[in-house]
Amino acid sequence: MIIDIHGHYTTAPKALEAWRNRQIAAIKNPSEMPQASELSISDDELRESIEGNQLRLMRERGLDLTIFSPRASFMAHHIGDFQVSSAWAAICNELCYRISRLFPDHFIPAAMLPQSPGADPATCIPELIKCVEEYGNVAINLNPDPSGGHWNSPPLSDRHWYPIYEKMVEYDIPAMIHVSTSCNPSFHTTGAHYLNADTTAFMQCLTSDLFKDFPTLRFVIPHGGGAVPYHWGRFRGLAQEMKKPKLSDHLLNNIFFDTCVYHQPGIDLLARVIPVDNILFASEMIGAVRGIDPETGHSYDDTKRYIEAAHIDPEQRHKIYEANARRVYPRLDAALKAKGR
């Protein structure tokens, strides 16, 4: 089985974006704020949005299951207040849940949290509980920068975030550390802000003792870990200067990296530097990079091709494709075993 741990609903029907635009426009005029009940998307529309897009590519590329969450750039936690974010997150999470019910063999949901700048993360807990207990979500996406590129929230090691971590430990679910749209013109959303955030999240963990407080807490850092694997010596050296334990002891029981690295040399280096037990297969299909690589003639996000071409043995490939995901996402493993998979 091949499990893609990084999928976003980027092809949702246009009605979703239209509702969101109405919501944003009404922030300055609350009397015009749309209700969730005013958004109508049929099951047939959901099927159409998936069958010709994510599901088609999964079948073409030989992928079996995708952990599916709301579109990352659409989270836009910097827009409006907590009530705006809460209504938006609930709608997006319900759509991913409906996709998982329509295509139960191919998609399982992960939750967007209703984060908002300055809001207590504890306000996210009711949505998290609903998504795990009612929707069967196996993970959450946690935005370390709800401000949208201005980074005015405390670091991930701060007790500010502990209410979410406590719930993650209780439910035994990981968080993908994933920012959303950048509203800071200095940082392109997918080319800079995403990769900066991946690197920043890792460094925040390196400089802290977070995992002493939460030894079973698990973070997935997407996009191959940003700069981390490619500057591993720098991070090892910084840890050494700070009198921290070796990174393999200090962080790699709790931090994992995905394979959304869109060229062969990058994947080759990732697999050489990071222990295979800490690498999870992912592609972020129909996401940030959708084009065809003229050097290969294949889609940049067809990451299975890179794993197949990497110099790793079949046992290591099995870990990247399936075994590591089952271990890092225990609720996913339980759901698959319940289905005899």
* Residue 32 is among the residues annotated as catalytic for this protein: no
Residue 283 confidence (pLDDT):
97
Mean pLDDT of 251-266: 96
Contacts of 179 by beta carbon, 8 Å cutoff, 6+ apart: 72, 143, 144, 145, 149, 193, 194, 197
Q: What is the mean pLDDT of residues 264-274?
A: 96
- Mean pLDDT computed over 283-287: 94
- Residue 282 identity: A
Q: 246: pLDDT confidence band, cut at 50, 70 and 90?
A: confident
Statement: residue 61 has pLDDT above 90: yes
Report how far residue 153's alpha carbon sits from residue 157's, in angstroms, rounded to the nearest whole number: 11
How far is it, in rounded angstroms, from Cα 125 to Cα 113?
8
- In this prediction, residues 13-20 reach a mean pLDDT of 98
- How crowded is the C-beta side of 250, counted as CA atoms within 13 Å? 20
Task: Read off the pLDDT band of 113 (50, 70, 90).
Answer: very high
- Residue 239 makes CB contacts below 8 A (sequence gap 6+) with 206, 245, 246, 247, 250
Asked if residue 227 has pLDDT above 90, the reply is yes
Nearest to 144 by CA among 208, 212, 215: 208
pLDDT, residue 250, reads 81
Confidence of residue 247 (pLDDT cuts 50, 70, 90): confident
With contact defined as beta carbons under 8 Å apart, do 127 and 114 qualify? yes
Mean pLDDT of 311-336: 97
Chain-centroid distance, C-alpha 102 = 21
Alpha-carbon 318 to chain mean position: 21
Please tell me the pTM assigned to this model.
Answer: 0.96
pLDDT digits (tens, 9 = 90+) for 135-188: 999 999 999 999 999 999 999 999 999 999 999 999 999 999 999 999 999 999
Cα torsion 309, 312, 315, 316: sign: negative
Confidence of residue 248 (pLDDT cuts 50, 70, 90): confident
Name the active-site residue from 32, 38, 134, 284.
284
Q: Look at phi and psi of residue 225 and say left if phi exceeds 0, alpha if psi is from -120 to 50, else beta.
A: left
Average pLDDT over residues 186-195: 95
pLDDT at 288 over 90: no
Q: What is the pLDDT of residue 249?
A: 81
Q: Is the pLDDT of residue 52 over 90?
A: yes
Percent of the chain predicted with pLDDT > 70? 100
Residue 214 buriedness (CB in 10 A; 0-12 / 13-18 / 19+): middle
